[in-house]
Amino acid sequence: MVCWCRWEGGGIRRCCLLAVLYLFSGIAGDPAWAQDDLLGGFDAPVRGYDELLNGFEDAGSAMDPETTAEGPDVDTVDPLVCLGGHLKAAASINFAHDSPDVGETDWRGLSRLKAQLLLELNVKPVADWRAFASGAADYDFAYGINGRSQYADAVLDDDEREVELREAYLQGRLSKQLDVKVGRQIVVWGTSDNIRVVDVINPLDLREPGVTDIEDLRLPVTLTRLDYYWGDFSLTGIAIHEVRFNKNPPDGSDFSPSATPPPVENDPDSDVANTQFAVALNGIFSGWDLGFYAADIYDENAHFKRSVSGSTVLESTHARIKMVGGSANLAWGNWLIKGEFAWLDGLEFTHLPHNTYCRLDVMAGLEYAGFDDTQLTLEIVDRHLFDHDDALKQDPDGCNADQIQWVARMDKDFLHDTLTSPF
């Protein structure tokens, strides 16, 4: 179990408590395999100081490249079917809200008491192929405790309960050096654990910004991925078939940016013509690693423009942008030094609809893991928009020439963060 508190700015102060209990081990096979190696042999090793960043989170082969020539260990027999999962509970308390006006929602006090059940099914019929699927069901008891009648229907529909299919894919080896992975999945790029720079493949769940870790915010999308390995390097090619954008706070929530409903969304269809593309080159070395990335994708941030008919009606739309960037890690004792950069071209904004812009994002970060079960992190990023115009400072763009973001974070594990038992 792990408990943590986080405070966020913007006029709202929120204290959060999170508890996670891993209940499900393995219905078939060794329970330890289910907990520690549910995705064993396919996904990259978890980044950590014990392995000193054996590679980027997403740089691993479907099967360990070092064992490719010889095949898997003949003494290890993975079960055909494995079921895993967790129960998670999270609570949030607001303690700096003003008293609401008559007819407005009172967001003071308990604002979230959410429980989540997540199940993961792993089927591995042969050594080099597997099918994986996961789904989650959430329910927030805070609305019933506080009285559902005071909340807007959009808030209840969006936040009170949710059942979602998350990742679902088929993964396997086409040759000794080539892997394929097809289906709904999450792809993690870069070195930052808190701020996105080159990590542009998956949209985020931003309905409760600043409260949940980014690893829990990524939303899976349907894509086809090919990984080619040689020596210390891997080359990844991605075709993204599903057009999906961030989940934003619903109208009437305490995080909703405006009291008025947003413009009508004009999102592109998920068809062949709107396929997005990405490529990554990663190198994993002793004590350090680096990666280079490029993507042709839709901007996750929408801008508003007049409808095609030329009327005064505004539509929310997403520009097609291009990104090139890189990232690197360097381990030095208990310290981890990391950095990222990204050049984005084709950005569009509401107030200057006929212009496109370029932006350079640069991130630097430090992590320290010299304390037992504790990790300290500091990350800072500068996003510089070239040819900036003062008109872009106005809402809804709200964009300065330089936007600075920083995160200071402390992670502390209790009971090694997990409890396990046979199912």
pLDDT by residue for the chain (423 residues), tens only, comes to 333 343 333 334 455 555 555 454 444 444 333 434 434 444 443 333 333 333 344 545 444 434 333 444 444 567 899 999 999 898 988 887 778 888 788 888 898 999 999 999 999 999 899 999 999 999 999 999 999 998 988 899 999 999 999 999 999 999 999 999 999 999 999 999 889 999 999 999 988 877 667 778 899 999 999 999 999 999 999 999 999 999 988 888 888 756 666 777 888 999 999 999 999 999 999 999 999 999 999 999 998 887 665 556 778 899 999 999 999 999 999 999 999 999 999 999 999 988 999 999 999 999 999 998 889 999 999 999 999 999 999 888 889 999 999 999 988 877 655 554 444
Phi, psi dihedral angles at 404 (to 5 degrees): -100, 130
Q: How much is the pLDDT for 209?
A: 76
In this structure, whether the domain defined by 14-417 belongs to CATH 2.40.160 is answered with yes
For tokens 């042999």, what's the residue?
A: 41
For tokens 């939303």, what's the residue?
A: 219
- The amino acid sitting at 150 is Q
Instruction: Give the CA count within 13 Å in the CB-facing half-sphere of 74.
Output: 1
Domain ranges in the chain are 14-417
DSSP lists the bridge partners of residue 418 as none
Query: Are 133 and 165 in contact, with CB atoms under 8 Å apart?
Result: yes
Which residue in 131, 185, 132, 141 sits closest to 161, CA to CA? Answer: 141
Query: Are 322 and 348 in contact, with CB atoms under 8 Å apart?
Result: no
Query: What does the block give as tokens for 134?
Result: 């996961």
Number of H helices, E strands in the chain: 3, 18
Query: Are 420 and 87 in contact, with CB atoms under 8 Å apart?
Result: no
Q: How much is the pLDDT for 154?
A: 87
Largest Cα span, the chain:
71
Which residue in 402, 240, 227, 397 sits closest to 323, CA to CA? Answer: 240
